[in-house]
Amino acid sequence: MIYFNTKHFAKNFIWLKKIDSTNTYIKNNIPNLKDKTVVATLNQTNGRGTKNRKFYSIPGKTLAISILIKNIKTKILKIMPIFCSNILIKTITNFNIENAKIKWFNDILINNKKISGILCESEIEGTICNVILGVGINITATKKELLNLNLPNAGSIFSETQKFIKPELFLQNFIETFEIYYLKYFENIENFNPENIISYYKKNCCTIGKYVKIVNIKTKHTAIGKAINITNNGNILINFNNKLIQLNNNNFSIFTL
């Protein structure tokens, strides 16, 4: 049993021995689940990433977490994956690991190896929505195990730092940290200001200042530019042929050169 020192999140906690996707589990059961339910597993068989990409997991070594937040304002929906990226960085830092970075939009890297990804899904009705925040993080996988899955660009906390962290302890720390900052930034939603969230994100974003390849998801057209900044709505600002253009995660992918 995992104990969470929280007031709201994970008061309804579901630990699954095996599931295709924790996000899908919540999506299929939203009417029966309480607000701020947390679902987690160490055996996710069909994890999903953004843009319908597959997120590969190693049973017992890759932690999948999904958080259900009901009835939030749609105006903060865009900031939720950015907020979640920040919480992952803060949690990793809590374990005295200082070199984790965010690759725009929501990949977490250590030593340029992807150790974690985030999938934010929502059900919108007017100005209110239900949000499912899904996190997959490789915690104790070895380099050999990741290479056996043909994932040369993937890593884990253990493979990149040689620090062994119990997945259950990481989960506990992540949820407790999530609640602290969620209450800090979103409790008074009428006066919500994304500035502090974006500022921390930019501080830890390794994409800013780099030359990148831009891929239009629909047309597959590519271009080269330099990442300059992150806007307050999470878009990336690119210098392209001496013109500043703003790109969003829904329509574009970015690859660091």
For 150-179, write each residue's pLDDT tens digit: 999 999 999 999 999 999 999 999 999 999
223: in domain: yes
| Number of alpha carbons in the 13 Å side-chain half-sphere of residue 107 | 24
Query: What is the DSSP code (8-state) at residue 190?
Result: G
8: in domain: no
Residues 89 and 34 occupy one common structural domain: yes
User: How high is the pLDDT of residue 51?
Assistant: 65
Residues 152 and 228 occupy one common structural domain: no
User: How high is the pLDDT of residue 16?
Assistant: 97
Q: Model-level pTM?
A: 0.95
Distance CA 12, CA 30 (A): 13
User: How high is the pLDDT of residue 187?
Assistant: 82
2: in domain: no
Low-confidence residues in the chain, pLDDT < 50: none
Residues 63 and 152 occupy one common structural domain: yes
Q: Which has the closest alpha carbon to 166: 21, 60, 47?
A: 60
169: in domain: yes
Residues 199 and 222 occupy one common structural domain: no
3: in domain: no
* Length reported for the chain: 257
Domain span holding position 217: 211-256
**Do the bridges between strand 38-41 and strand 13-16 make them parallel or antiparallel, or are there none, so unpaired?**
parallel
b/e sequence 217-226, b meaning 16+ C-beta within 10 Å: eeeeeeeebe
Residues 220 and 102 occupy one common structural domain: no
Residues 196 and 215 occupy one common structural domain: no
Residues 57 and 34 occupy one common structural domain: yes
User: How high is the pLDDT of residue 188?
Assistant: 78
User: How high is the pLDDT of residue 68?
Assistant: 98
Residues 98 and 193 occupy one common structural domain: yes
Coil vs helix vs strand at 202: helix
Number of domains in the chain: 2
Share of the chain above pLDDT 70, in %: 99
Coil vs helix vs strand at 240: strand
55: in domain: yes
Residues 103 and 227 occupy one common structural domain: no
193: in domain: yes
Tell me, rounded to whole angstroms, the distance of Cα 129 from its chain centroid. Answer: 19
CATH code of the domain covering residue 234: 2.30.30
5: in domain: no
User: How high is the pLDDT of residue 233?
Assistant: 87
Query: What is the DSSP code (8-state) at residue 154?
Result: B
Q: Cβ(13)–Cβ(37) under 8 Å?
A: yes
Q: Which has the closest alpha carbon to 134: 191, 53, 251?
A: 53
Residues 107 and 18 occupy one common structural domain: yes
